[in-house]
Amino acid sequence: MKTVKKIFVITVIAALNLFSITTCAEAQQSSTVEYPYLGSTLNISGEQVWEHTNSHTISGAYVKSTVNSGVNIDNFAKDRISAGNIKNGILSFSVIDPGTLIEWDNLIKIFYEWNNVTIDDNTVKSNVITLVTDTGGKLEKEKLYGTNTQLDLESVIYIYVDKDCKITGEYSEGTESGIRYWYTANILDLSFKKGWNMLCRREFLDNSGKDAVSMEIKQLVDFRWAIWP
């Protein structure tokens, strides 16, 4: 298995690169709310896909995509599943079979930035998926926003568990390759329900240059699908 950290590389790079954006406060309309517990079938239909631009304002950071591509699912068990497509920039896919399930000692690696991570039932089996286009582009469900001193990027991790469970963890901090300086901005207190769950990972950079990381399960407001090369 490739290192689990690679799941988050896109998010980290995005946050670092986009911090050059002029992050004035920009109003957003809260028009789309999504519940984090999705049940036994992960079904996405008719979602607009966006591409990132070189704009220096948050409001101009995305443009609607018109791409056509197949959509594949990669998961922790190294399965690759053809799950749907993008037609003229509109995404639709469905995942009924979560694939080969993994043990807790693999799932725990997602939470490497926290200390003393535990699960209330270590017999829980799970899977985590990422979406890729036929050309290798990564599809992320995300939300970008900020102020004059802080840039926030939230992204969704799709996790399947075969029974209800709770994961907890404690604060931590560290560095990676002497480039990324991070700390956890919250403790882990994550209640998953049997089936598919949307775990929201948030990273924000302030003018100190440190990367604050948090995770929570919550209702999502105005997230969008974006393609990363």
**CA–CA separation, 211 and 213 (whole Å):** 6
**How would residue 17 be classed by pLDDT, with cut points 50, 70 and 90?**
low
Q: What is the pLDDT of residues 70-98, one digit of tens each?
A: 999 988 877 788 889 999 999 999 998 88
- For residue 16, the enclosing domain spans 4-22+32-228
**Is residue 186 domain-resident?**
yes
Q: With a cut of 60, say whether residue 6 has pLDDT above it.
A: no
- Asked if residue 203 lies in contact with residue 212, where contact means CB atoms within 8 angstroms, the answer is yes
Burial category of 51 from C-beta neighbours within 10 Å (exposed 0-12, middle 13-18, buried 19 and up):
middle
Q: With a cut of 80, say whether residue 30 has pLDDT above it.
A: no
The total of structural domains in the chain comes to 1
Q: With a cut of 70, say whether residue 22 has pLDDT above it.
A: no
**Is residue 27 domain-resident?**
no
**Is residue 148 domain-resident?**
yes
**CA–CA separation, 166 and 172 (whole Å):** 19
